[in-house]
Amino acid sequence: MSVQLLLLASLPALGWGLMPIVAKLMGGKSEEQLLGTTIAALIFGSVFGFLNQVSYALVPFSISLLSGVFWACGQYFQFLALEKAEVSKVMPVSVGTQLLFVTLASGFFLKEWTDLTTVIFSIMALGVILTGVFLVTKTTHQQTGLTPQVLLYLCCSSAFLMLYVTVTGLFQISGAQIFMPQAVGMFLGGSVISLKSKQQLHFRKIIRNLGTGSTWVIANTSLFAVSSSLGVGVTYSFSQMSLLVATYGSIILLKEQKVGREKQFVALGSLLYMVGVLGMSWLK
């Protein structure tokens, strides 16, 4: 693997890992963050479709649009969780539950579990991943962990993001046909969600969150570009390292504190998470 390809393969993890950090830095309500992100996605999707002269059929277009709506719902709940808790606590649970839901949905509905051995090793890998997530978010001081409300937000987020990921696979839609209609669905979903708070939204904060959307665009584009060269398994492994970027990035950039043995828990949890993800990608 060349250095250039290795750097490109790291961009999805970097983009998705930095996205919640950038959202915190840009500020604003969840609706403002969501609109800023979806506007950036819509601009990219439109330019991509125009430059590549992509042709669209009704069913793939509709399913990809629905996928984008699911993403908007899932991302909104994640932004709500980030309003109420630290990135280093929210993102490990968010990514871990996404992996759990997507793996189970892929196994049962997309028929990726072809034999008993795959089922057993997938469940083992999930167990290692979730143990890593538990350690990364473990607290040892007076400050409490995630509240039931935040956990509910994250479960709703991961359920919608699971639908976002799997619905196109269920209808075997892939490649360039997805980008533009998916971005339209993201924008439409974000706009409908934001209607209830439209009187309280600030245009300047929405524009600031175009930066949040840019990290998503970088991640999504590079994932598409590198998967054709490295294959889905390797690309998947690299992209799921977004948890490490979000966790350590929030500690460094947002000054989120880890005290005492929490630093050791984060290091051990990160290692277990990496082992579990690499095992999961090997099965794929």
Q: Measured over all CA atoms, what is the biggest interatomic distance in the chain, rounded to whole angstroms?
A: 57
Residue 150 near residue 81, CB atoms below 8 Å: yes
Looking at the structure of the chain, the number of domains it has is: 1
What domain range is 188 assigned to? Answer: 3-283
What value does the mean pLDDT of the chain take?
Answer: 87
Tens of pLDDT, residue by residue over 227-259, are: 666 655 566 667 888 899 999 999 999 988 887
SS (H, E, C) 117-145: HHHHHHHHHHHHHHHHHHHHCCCCCCCCC
**Alpha carbon 223 to chain centroid distance?**
12
- Within 8 A by CB and 6+ apart from 22, the residues are 211, 212, 215
Show the CA angle centred on residue 257, arms to residues 252 and 259, nearest 5°. Answer: 125
**Predicted TM-score (pTM) of this structure:** 0.89
Across 126-138, b (16+ Cβ under 10 Å) vs e yields: bebbbbbbebbbb
Question: What CA–CA distance (Å, rounded) separates 226 from 224?
Answer: 6
Torsion of CA 258, 264, 265, 266, to 10 degrees: 60
Residue 62 above 90 pLDDT? yes
Please tell me the predicted confidence (pLDDT) of residue 263: 87
Question: What CA–CA distance (Å, rounded) separates 21 from 34?
Answer: 14
Residue 142 above 70 pLDDT? no
